[in-house]
């Protein structure tokens, strides 16, 4: 029995000695690999190509114009002062168009027989003459052209006659009622003398002019002459 233990101890001792030799061999090999690895001279990698940066632009005052133009104390950040201009007053309303009663042409151009309103006396108006606040531009057998405050108005003849007036030319019921109230009182007639110059060598008679026929005032004589629509009045220059 003791002999077997001694043999086993010898075997174990031999195993330990063998393991020590093996461990020492591995350690020496590791040291050799380490020395070989650390002793190698490493070649540095070539550096990347150098690309110079673009130069910074010079500082200009124009680059700060946006900052100077924005007001820091205004919510809109706008340095432009907005001046509010009051709108122009609305133009005055156009009065009622004069009434057209007829037209005649005796060879020297058309002459319109018109009245300022439906109750005004007839007047002879040639192109370029005035009838109330309107200026007659042209008239023919179908339409008439008037001017008021630089505005040209084209109307059919039936629109400005006593029966066909409508739109701006038509008088409101309030005016008709007021005219009816005024017509109850007799018109006051007075001697007024020559009226507006027609540009045709004679002057018109003023409404309610009671100057006798043949009266001479300021170089003009009052005369009556027949027309297709009745007697018309005008002031002709005195012939010398």
> What's the angle, vertex CA 120, arms to CA 119 and CA 126, rounded to 5?
135
Each residue's pLDDT tens digit, 30-81: 988 888 888 777 788 888 888 888 888 888 877 777 776 776 666 666 667 7
The distance of Cα 214 from the centroid of its chain, to the nearest Å, equals 59
Beta strands in 28-150 (DSSP E): 99-105, 110-115, 123-125, 130-131, 134-139, 143-148
Q: What residues in the chain have per-residue pLDDT under 70?
A: 1, 68, 71-79, 162-192, 207-208, 228-230, 240
Ranges of H-type helices in the chain:
2-38, 65-69, 157-160, 173-184
Please, what's the b/e burial string for 168-177 (b: 16 or more CB within 10 A of its CB; e: otherwise)?
A: ebebeeeeee
Delimit the domains of the chain by residue range.
1-30, 94-185, 189-240
Q: By the 8 A CB rule, do 206 and 96 touch?
A: no
Question: pLDDT value at position 176?
Answer: 45
What is the model's pTM?
A: 0.37
| Token pair for 66 | 């946006």
Q: Which residues contact 231 (CB under 8 A, 6 or more apart)?
A: 224, 225
- The pLDDT score that the predictor gives to residue 79 is 64
Q: How far apart are CA 144 and CA 137, in angstroms?
A: 8
pLDDT attached to residue 152? 92
SS3 label, residue 20: helix
8: three-class secondary structure by DSSP: helix
Selected from 3.40.50.10320, 2.30.30.830, 3.30.70.580, 3.20.20.70, the CATH number assigned to the domain covering 94-185 reads: 2.30.30.830
């Amino acid at each position: 029995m003791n002999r077997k233990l001694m043999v086993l101890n010898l075997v174990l001792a031999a195993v330990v000695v063998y393991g020590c030799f093996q461990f020492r061999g591995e350690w020496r090999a590791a040291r050799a690999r380490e020395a070989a690895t650390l002793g190698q001279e490493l070649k540095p990698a070539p550096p990347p190509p150098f690309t110079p940066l673009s130069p910074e632009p010079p500082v200009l005052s124009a680059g700060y114009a946006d900052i100077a133009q924005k007001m820091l104390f205004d919510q809109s950040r706008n340095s432009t002062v907005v001046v509010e201009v009051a709108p122009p007053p609305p133009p005055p309303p156009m009065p009622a168009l004069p009434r057209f009663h007829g037209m005649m042409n005796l060879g020297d151009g058309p002459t319109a027989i018109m009245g300022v309103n439906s109750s005004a006396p007839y007047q002879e108006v040639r192109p370029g003459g005035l009838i109330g606040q309107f200026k007659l531009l042209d008239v023919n057998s179908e339409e008439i052209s008037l001017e008021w405050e630089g505005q040209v108005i084209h109307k059919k003849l039936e629109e400005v006659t006593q029966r066909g007036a409508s739109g701006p030319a038509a008088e409101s019921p309030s005016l008709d009622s007021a005219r009816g109230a005024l017509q109850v009182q007799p018109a006051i007639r007075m001697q007024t003398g020559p009226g507006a110059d027609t540009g045709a060598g004679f002057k018109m008679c003023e409404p309610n002019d009671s100057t006798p026929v043949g009266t001479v005032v300021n170089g003009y004589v009052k005369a009556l002459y027949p027309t297709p629509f009745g007697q018309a009045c005008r002031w002709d220059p005195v012939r010398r």
